[in-house]
């Protein structure tokens, strides 16, 4: 049986297996402390090259495939092309770093990176951030866009809190040079990676992504890991107990990016969509997790160190993230209230459409029969059935627009003959009905006379005078004595009797 492209994509990939094995071996090797400091430093930079080359190659292949296919988002191809360029810059910077390490493997620059390597890192990160920021967000309304921005701000506030907690001020006298150096360190290392976190989170929360799910998760995880690693003070990178583990963590971060790029390449080649469908859950847990992480950090810092300067920073970060989450909830509640209001308005509109005549806005047959049934169950009712006598000639002579305006005028006149609690309905065509509840005989006769006067003579419709005559039939229903259909039929028979009587009178007058 032939396997489909997605099935083939799920088979073990030699490169993925090699990358995973390399990461495991990296942790085992560095964790065991094997080799001298110089050997570990050299191995670290060689391993960085080993995982960055596959990233650059896979990113270039993804960009090429998206560009050639013509079915995917063009922005995705441009983004992955910049990713590939960033990978090449990283590789070149690390090659230069290896050459310099071989000259002096025990220097501080050998462990933390020399100026050329730092410049390549800054340029590569700038390319990655530019690619992520240029990628457009998915279609969303103003309310959803506001909530997304608050979510991004929450995650960024949490990441900044962790960065400030970890960050160590450089040693030396607090002069202008120290301020410039400190600012540069913050911008090039944790600051730049915080921007990367912002860009990744914007895509993850924005409803549109150029990543398949696995690649997106790996990219987001790596961005946050790198933000933490770049904020680690320099002394930890040159002290043997922590140096090995930090080397391993940096290789892991770069390796995860390479694995994500390779997964993206395989999925794209297999025909997977790079822009996932809308998530089943209409919200993200990421901002809440960020807030919880900051509060856990605050609790740990207060328990271990008390209320020192760093604790104040973390507590401030916890309050900021909490305030943002509260603001997000308020925005969500306002949006929910707006949706409920729109739902109620739509329900009312649909209900009105279901129970009212679209032309005259009177009750339709369904609503009339419902109110007639309720009225009969409560007590005596009176039904007037009205049929316009000369409506078809009006349509034929003046057109249907004039006929419609005549029907609207008839409805207006009928409403003027009854009280607010009575029901006036258009049953269909030129047939109308009036329902009044529990009235005296005098009131019943008064309504009948008012209806007859209102529907007699002529009326002006636009520029023409049209005749207006109607036949009216009345039926009285007693409590529990009749059902709605039989009472309406009785009024119908009375109406036709009136119509026949008028016809005979008219024929006698002609004789």
Phi, psi of 332 (to 5 degrees): -65, -40
pLDDT tens for 379-401 read 888 999 999 987 888 888 888 89
Pairwise pLDDT comparison (53 vs 279), residue with the higher score: 53
Confidence at residue 241, expressed as pLDDT on a 0 to 100 scale? 77
Least confident of 21-30, 81-90, 119-128, 229-238: 229-238
Over range 36-44, report the average pLDDT: 89
Q: Choose between 277 and 114: higher pLDDT.
A: 114
Residue 279: predicted pLDDT: 47
Beta carbons within 8 Å of 167's beta carbon, 6+ residues apart: 186, 190, 231, 233
- Tell me the average pLDDT across 471-486: 83
Residue 232 pLDDT > 80, yes or no? Answer: no
Where does the pLDDT of residue 191 fall: very low under 50, low under 70, confident under 90, or very high at 90 and above?
A: low
Q: Quick one: pLDDT at residue 2?
A: 43
- The pLDDT of 70-86, averaged and rounded, is 79
Return all residues near 255 (Cβ < 8 A) that are at least 6 apart: 19, 22, 23, 26, 51
The predicted pLDDT at position 277 comes to: 45
Average pLDDT over residues 57-71: 82
Q: What pairs with residue 434 in β-bridges?
A: 384, 424
With the C-alpha atoms ordered 123, 125, 131, 136, is the resulting torsion angle positive or negative? negative
Mean pLDDT along residues 469-498: 86
Residue 480 pLDDT grade (very low, low, confident, very high; cuts 50, 70, 90):
low
pTM over 0.85: no
| Of residues 231 and 442, more confidently modeled | 442
pLDDT at 322 over 90: yes
Give the residue-averaged pLDDT of 67-89. Answer: 80
The whole-number pLDDT of residue 390 equals: 79
Cα dihedral: 276, 279, 282, 286 (round 10) = -80
The stretch 313-323 carries a mean pLDDT of 90
Is residue 201 packed enough to be buried (19+ CB in 10 Å), middle (13-18) or exposed (0-12)?
buried
Instruction: Work out the pLDDT band at 9, boundaries 50, 70, 90.
Output: very low
Residue pointed to by tokens 């540069």: 184
Which CATH architecture group holds 365-510?
A: 2-Layer Sandwich (3.30)
| Domain segments of the chain as ranges | 35-135+208-279, 145-170+285-355, 365-510
Between strands 464-467 and 470-477, the pairing is unpaired
pLDDT for position 425: 95
Torsion region of 419: left, alpha or beta (phi above 0 gives left; psi -120 to 50 gives alpha): beta
Element (H, E) at 359: none
Q: Is residue 236 within 8 Å of residue 246, measured between CB atoms? A: yes
Mean pLDDT, rounded, for 300-329: 88
- Give per-residue pLDDT as tens, 273-314: 554 444 445 567 778 888 898 899 889 888 888 888 878 888
Query: How far apart, in whole angstroms, are the C-alpha atoms of residue 151 and residue 141?
Result: 15
**Range with the poorest average pLDDT among 204-218, 280-294, 480-494:** 204-218
pLDDT (average), residues 368-380: 88
Separation CA 214–CA 264 (nearest Å): 8
d(CA 69, CA 67): 6
What is the pLDDT, as a whole number, of residue 193?
57
Mean confidence (pLDDT) of the chain: 82
pLDDT band at 323 (very low <50, low <70, confident <90, very high): very high
- On the question of pLDDT at 73 being above 80, the answer is no
Do 93 and 124 contact (CB within 8 A), yes or no? yes
Average pLDDT on 104-112 reads: 83
Q: Residue 98: pLDDT above 90?
A: yes
């Amino acid at each position: 049986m032939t396997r489909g492209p997605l099935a083939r994509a799920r088979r073990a990939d030699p490169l993925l297996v090699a990358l995973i094995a390399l990461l495991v071996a990296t942790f085992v090797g560095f964790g065991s402390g094997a080799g001298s400091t110089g050997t570990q430093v050299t191995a670290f930079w060689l391993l960085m090259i080993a995982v960055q080359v596959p990233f650059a190659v896979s990113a270039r292949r993804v960009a090429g495939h998206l560009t050639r296919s013509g079915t995917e988002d063009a922005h995705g191809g441009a983004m992955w092309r910049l990713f590939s360029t960033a990978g090449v810059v990283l590789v070149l910077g690390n090659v230069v770093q290896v050459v310099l390490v071989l000259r002096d493997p025990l220097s501080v620059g050998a462990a933390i990176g020399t100026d050329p390597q730092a410049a390549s890192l800054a340029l590569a990160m700038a390319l990655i951030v530019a690619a992520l920021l240029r990628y457009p967000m998915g279609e969303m309304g103003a309310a959803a866009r506001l909530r997304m921005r608050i979510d991004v701000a929450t995650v960024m506030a949490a990441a900044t809190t962790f960065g400030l907690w970890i960050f160590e001020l450089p040693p030396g006298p607090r002069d202008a040079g120290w301020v410039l150096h400190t600012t540069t360190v913050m911008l090039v290392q944790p600051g730049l990676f915080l921007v990367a976190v912002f860009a990744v989170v914007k895509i993850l929360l924005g409803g549109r992504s150029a990543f398949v799910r696995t690649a997106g998760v790996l990219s987001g995880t790596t961005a946050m890991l790198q933000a933490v690693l770049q904020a680690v003070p320099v002394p930890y990178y040159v002290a043997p107990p922590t140096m090995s583990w930090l080397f391993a963590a940096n290789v892991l971060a770069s390796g995860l990016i390479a694995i994500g790029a390779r997964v993206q390449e395989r999925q794209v080649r297999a025909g997977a969509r790079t822009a996932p469908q809308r998530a089943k859950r209409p919200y993200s847990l990421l901002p809440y997790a960020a807030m919880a992480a900051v509060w856990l950090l605050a609790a740990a810092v207060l328990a271990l160190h008390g209320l020192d300067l760093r604790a104040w920073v973390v507590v401030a970060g916890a309050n900021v993230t909490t305030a943002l989450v509260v603001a997000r909830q308020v925005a969500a509640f306002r949006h929910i209230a707006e949706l409920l209001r729109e739902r109620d308005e739509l329900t009312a509109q649909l209900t009105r459409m279901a129970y009212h005549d679209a032309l005259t806005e009177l009750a339709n047959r369904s609503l009339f029969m419902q109110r007639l049934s309720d009225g009969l169950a409560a007590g005596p009712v009176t039904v007037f059935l009205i049929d316009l006598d000369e409506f078809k000639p009006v349509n034929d002579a003046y057109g249907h627009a004039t006929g419609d305006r005549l029907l609207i005028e008839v409805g207006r006149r009928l409403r003027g003959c009854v009280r607010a609690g009575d029901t006036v309905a258009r049953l269909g065509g030129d047939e109308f009905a009036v329902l009044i509840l529990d009235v005296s005989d005098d009131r019943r006769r008064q309504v009948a006379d008012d209806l007859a006067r209102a529907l007699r003579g002529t009326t002006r419709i636009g520029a023409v005078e049209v005749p207006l005559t109607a036949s009216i039939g009345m039926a009285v229903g007693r409590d529990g004595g009749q059902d709605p259909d039989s009472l309406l039929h009785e009024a119908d028979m009375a109406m036709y009797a009136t119509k026949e009587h008028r016809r005979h009178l008219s024929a006698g007058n002609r004789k």
